């Protein structure tokens, strides 16, 4: 891609379970020319969402890495995942002046 940006996709089917109810294990990442991950969507590990008053903790597996921040991601389907990822890629490249 322009200015040395590159993407990496790792996607495969898995048995549906509580962590991957959609049956897809995935990692979609955007890297800069220095191989630093800029943004990534994956479900490789669980994260604890921010606590809300009087709510139980629930591990979320689908999430987004945005530089050093990890936030839950609501997986709808593969099409929406790809759309969200490429929208982020386009915004980041435009913001960074590529």
Report the alpha-carbon distance of residue 7 to residue 44 in Å, rounded. 17
Residues 25, 65: Cα–Cα separation, whole Å: 16
User: What tens digit of pLDDT does each residue of 61-70 get?
Assistant: 788 988 778 8
The residue ranges of every structural domain in the chain are: 2-95
Q: Say what the pLDDT of residue 57 is.
A: 53
Does residue 9 have a pLDDT over 90?
yes
Residue 60: per-residue pLDDT: 61
- Token pair of 52, please? 């809300």
Task: Please say if the pLDDT value at position 98 is more than 60.
Answer: no
pLDDT score for 38 = 94
Whole-number Cα distances in Å, 70 to 8, 15, 41:
18, 25, 10
| pLDDT exceeds 70 at position 56 | no
């Amino acid at each position: 891609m322009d200015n040395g940006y590159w993407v990496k996709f790792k996607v495969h089917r898995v048995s549906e379970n509580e962590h991957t109810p959609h049956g897809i294990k995935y990692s979609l990442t955007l890297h800069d020319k220095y191989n630093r991950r800029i943004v990534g969507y994956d479900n490789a590990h669980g994260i604890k969402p921010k606590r809300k008053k009087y709510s139980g903790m629930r591990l979320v597996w689908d999430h987004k890495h945005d530089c050093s921040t990890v936030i839950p991601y609501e997986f709808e389907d593969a099409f929406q995942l790809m759309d969200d990822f490429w929208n982020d890629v386009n915004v980041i490249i435009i913001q960074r002046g590529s």
